[in-house]
Structure 1
């Protein structure tokens, strides 16, 4: 007799995600103790040895609730009992930048990066399910964030801040199946009270918006949203590839278009990588001689790009200059785009993370405000 159907579904998803990892590599499950990540940890403990891999787990103690340290210690013991080795917890301090959800997410990923580096893990698995994907798509739609946001969460990614490969095996598994699998494996999940707090936008989407859509449109809304995300991701990845090449073209040396003179500088400062130092802080209202012709992005190249590609180029440049991708919104990118397409002598555009975009001497520059 085979395993419970829910357990089988989760194991198959994990097995597929393990394909291609180097033999003998360590894979970590990021586990909060909730049903989704606990089912993921149980499936990884089963599948990894059969794939010739080692399995471990890590939990992050955000310190936001009383008794969180004790819960983390209990969870580590449970993960170790599953055969996950190493198994450990990392306590973090959650800041305030970008709101509580963004701050907690950034602290969590920094801790996971740290754990993966310490244990030399080849990948870290996250327990996001199809329902999480549907919520992400709805949140992106409400914010008007564009196709990349509507493409939802990718099944695999590497953060710009590090080299850790993250995998999301359960994006094709619904939350109910993950919970059933957890219980069928004899694992008792912990339900985070924050998941019931209507002060969080995602909780309102989960408990109010999606049920209302299901009531109005019929069942299957979450599955349809996740399917839409998969299709849009293909489009977004193709456009991102074009944008990467366009970014390289815009960064290449070329003759400035001269709306403010050649600038007089030759130090090549002012690039999209945020290395422009004092030159960027001077604003975009005049050529002070600190920005050379080789710096920044060439406006003449940007002007010739389709808007879908150009805005991606501008976003990439802003993120490379230090603007946090989690708080850099479409409205910010649109204002930067006006420096290219609707230039009327604007001084600059201030972006999240203390980054400023401005135009000078035929170049679009990003630097510290």
Structure 2
């Protein structure tokens, strides 16, 4: 009798979704909504992006009341239970359909929905930030001297091997190993830079440097990468640019190289363009307008608030390497140099990053 009552009154009102620790859907009974297996739960609806930050919290359970979903023209009002699982239990979600109940008390439900969502999203955001901070600190403990030293040693040995008598196939293998080691070293450097920025340990230097030769140096570095990938790289420089300026040359190069590396990475064909012009002069400061444009994959509009966040990858492709730190470092460095950064993007057309950077003109 109990089973008969349960099937009659509860079967069509509850749905169970089982996840793995990466937030991918393992199984769903699809009672209320159809959810494709092996896809991220965050792809099902933006609300579930917040769920991903809770998965690492073992044996925690949360109830989200009166969540309104409108998917494929099907509108529901659900109570959602999330259990983060444990070592022996996968994370799972339970949808409980209270659409009819909440519709009967629409005004009360709406007020409750707004207050509850506001509370939970604020709480989840704090937990997510804390989780990211803990992850980063734990990761940093393993990537300082203990990783940099063997990488440097490996590169030295590979350099010695290159000078020995080797055949073409052996040289190809050595080149591959060098690229891998250099990539790991760049990741380590990015993480350490981000940590220093957040701890306030990076100071912006004010030293004179030659702007034209610096841009030529950047052009040589990026041109090789672009040619290797089979795309064009162009550099456009305003004739009115001051030659000698005062600022942090190292960070200036780092900002532009990170943006250009990002553009080359996401551009399969077409052009990457670096444009540097002088926008205006204010109190002996030359405001440089730096634009990095590409014909790459573009950035989805729903990532607008996340583009400059740490450890945020704007793609799901395993073929594109990186930890999602480049744009975060750029944004932080631009702010430290009293500049501004923004971007425009169209998916499958391209992206343009624009930086306004004040640099003092050397007299």
TM-score category of the 2 structures, normalised to the smaller one: under 0.3
Higher relative contact order (CA 8 A, sep 6+): 1
Bigger Cα Rg: 2
TM-score (normalised: structure 1): 0.25
Per residue, is there more strand in 1 or in 2? 2
TM-score (norm 2): 0.25
